[in-house]
Amino acid sequence: MLQVADAVQAVRTGRSLTEVLARCPADLRPGTQSLSFYVLRQLGAAEAARQHLAPKAPPPKVEPLLLSALALLWPGAEERPYADHTVVDQVVSAVRKRAPASAGFVNAVLRRFLREREAIVLALAAQPQALFNHPLWWIEQLQKDWPQQWQAILKANNQHPPMTLRVNARRSSPEAATSAYLQRLTAAGIAARPVGPLAPQALVLDRAVPVSALPGFAEGDVSVQDAAAQLAAPLLLQAGLPAGARVLDACSAPGGKTVHLLELADLDLLALDSDASRLERVQDNLKRLGLKAETRAADARDTAKWWDGRLFDAILLDAPCSASGIVRRHPDVRWLRRPTDIANLAQIQADLLDALWLTLKPGGRLVYATCSIFKAEGQAQIDAFLQRQNGVNAQEVEGVTGHLLPLAHNGDEAAATEPSQLDGFYYALLLKS
């Protein structure tokens, strides 16, 4: 419980959960991850309940433990991981270790919550942060961008994402490779189903498994990648590129889309990323899959530093963004972002677009992608680019370009009990005349 409370407090003070979990002892990591994911999905409700029950915030050593307990006791959509008395016992004994003088207070608050739970839940349902478990500014932004779907999106953000695989189609057609790998999964007792023609290499597992259980994972027969992310490489290669075409993957780390491109075509590929340590993961991915690309740590906006002046046939710009489309996979991002981040990120995306457009051949193509559903990082970004740049032709591809929302069955509430197969994404295909 102490590990979980520490992870939650780290997120509340601005550190990413991925970074926190990487430092967690290996034997405690899976348990800490699943409980802290659970708590972060109920954090808006827990914060509101804490304020209701104890208007003066308890000391920093105590508050994250109290919040974790309230989140674990809150009657959310998911089955609660522990019985009520177990949560109270564990949290009170953790408080006894950290701040013994506060143990009685925490015990009293939690017991009152259990006595009045139904009434408190009902009263706090009037607060959007408690009801939807997102910051108010995030809720308001979604209301503006998606007036019909915002509630369904917020609910979907608190569901468990499916584990999706991308079958390596290097040696055969995507359909044949996927069906052959499905048979291998079935033989290994792992249930899965294909996503369909939009993402022909994608298989969604009924239940997540460790990658070590996937047949041929170490040999590169399969990778883990959401189905929406699997749309990028085919979109860039859609019209076919000559063998050896010069391609830039401008924001490549950790390399999921880099290796997908190389699985599908023989390319002279340069993989850039501004973060040298994340670039090592691109190299690991290339190695596991037996593929080759030049990798380079550089700020893609600063072309004078890394570009040799040879124009690219195609560019993938999978830009840094708020990650508002993948909240279900990263339940911390909504609590980490600040409202000003969106405008800052949109400026970086615009600068990347402007700089990279100059490195593209006439007749070349650029795919702009973000894993965001905020329009400022998607449609509005591209509309502004088309306004300020001549010679750009934005091409639509049915089911792929535009905003993809992370909703099962197009947001039909009744049918949305199972998670969508796709994360939220935005794609634009820009042709240069």
Ligand X SMILES: C[S@@+](CC[C@H](N)C(=O)[O-])C[C@H]1O[C@@H](n2cnc3c(N)ncnc32)[C@H](O)[C@@H]1O
State in angstroms the smallest separation of the CB of 252 from ligand X: 5
State in angstroms the smallest separation of the CB of 321 from ligand X: 6
Q: Is 133 in the site for ligand X (CB under 6 A)?
A: no
Contacts of 412 (CB under 8 A, 6+ apart): none
State in angstroms the smallest separation of the CB of 369 from ligand X: 8
Among residues 133 and 157, whose Cβ is nearest to ligand X? Answer: 157
Please check whether residue 265 is in contact with residue 291, taking contact to mean a CB–CB distance below 8 angstroms: no
Among residues 109 and 251, whose Cβ is nearest to ligand X? Answer: 251
Pair type for strands 294-297 and 192-194: unpaired
State in angstroms the smallest separation of the CB of 192 from ligand X: 22
- Report how far residue 75's alpha carbon sits from residue 72's, in angstroms, rounded to the nearest whole number: 8
**How would DSSP label each residue in 128-183?**
HHHHH-S-HHHHHHHHHH-TTTHHHHHHHHTSPPPPEEEE--SSS-HHHHHHHHHH
Q: Is 272 in the site for ligand X (CB under 6 A)?
A: yes
Query: Can you give the three-state secondary structure of 27-39, one letter per residue?
Result: CCHHHHHHHHHHH
State in angstroms the smallest separation of the CB of 147 from ligand X: 27
Among residues 340 and 433, whose Cβ is nearest to ligand X? Answer: 340
- Report how far residue 53's alpha carbon sits from residue 67's, in angstroms, rounded to the nearest whole number: 11
Q: Which residue, judged by CB position, is nearest to ligand X in the bound state?
A: 251
Q: Pick the catalytic residue: 24, 251, 321, 371?
A: 371
- For the record, the structure tokens of 4 come out as 């979980």
- Report how far residue 155's alpha carbon sits from residue 44's, in angstroms, rounded to the nearest whole number: 13
Q: Is 378 in the site for ligand X (CB under 6 A)?
A: no
- Report how far residue 326's alpha carbon sits from residue 420's, in angstroms, rounded to the nearest whole number: 11
Q: Cα dist. 108→65, 104, 115, 334, 393 in Å?
A: 14, 6, 11, 30, 64
- Out of 299, 303, 386, 432, the only residue in the binding site for ligand X (CB under 6 A) is 299
- Out of 70, 163, 253, 289, the only residue in the binding site for ligand X (CB under 6 A) is 253
Q: Is 278 in the site for ligand X (CB under 6 A)?
A: yes
Contacts of 380 (CB under 8 A, 6+ apart): 346
- Out of 84, 140, 175, 275, the only residue in the binding site for ligand X (CB under 6 A) is 275
Which residues share a beta bridge with 316? 249, 367
Give the binding range for ligand X (CB under 6 A) out of 90-98, 237-245, 274-282, 380-388.
274-282
Give the binding range for ligand X (CB under 6 A) out of 55-63, 155-163, 186-194, 295-303.
295-303
The footprint of ligand X on this chain (CB under 6 A) covers a number of residues equal to: 19
Name residues contacting ligand X, limited to 8-37 (CB under 6 A): none
Among residues 12 and 257, whose Cβ is nearest to ligand X? Answer: 257
Q: Cα dist. 179→116, 193, 210 in Å?
A: 53, 10, 21
Q: Is 248 in the site for ligand X (CB under 6 A)?
A: no
- Report how far residue 358's alpha carbon sits from residue 312's, in angstroms, rounded to the nearest whole number: 10
Binding mask 316-355 for ligand X (x = CB under 6 A): --x-x-----------------------------------
- Report how far residue 334's alpha carbon sits from residue 326's, in angstroms, rounded to the nearest whole number: 10
Q: Is 252 in the site for ligand X (CB under 6 A)?
A: yes
Please, what's the largest Cα pairwise distance for the chain?
71
Q: Is 300 in the site for ligand X (CB under 6 A)?
A: yes
Which residues share a beta bridge with 204? 164, 193
Among residues 116 and 280, whose Cβ is nearest to ligand X? Answer: 280
Q: Is 280 in the site for ligand X (CB under 6 A)?
A: no
Active-site annotation holds for 371? yes
Name residues contacting ligand X, limited to 139-198 (CB under 6 A): none
Note the residues at the interface with ligand X (CB under 6 A): 229, 250-257, 272-275, 278, 299-301, 318, 320
Active site residues: 371
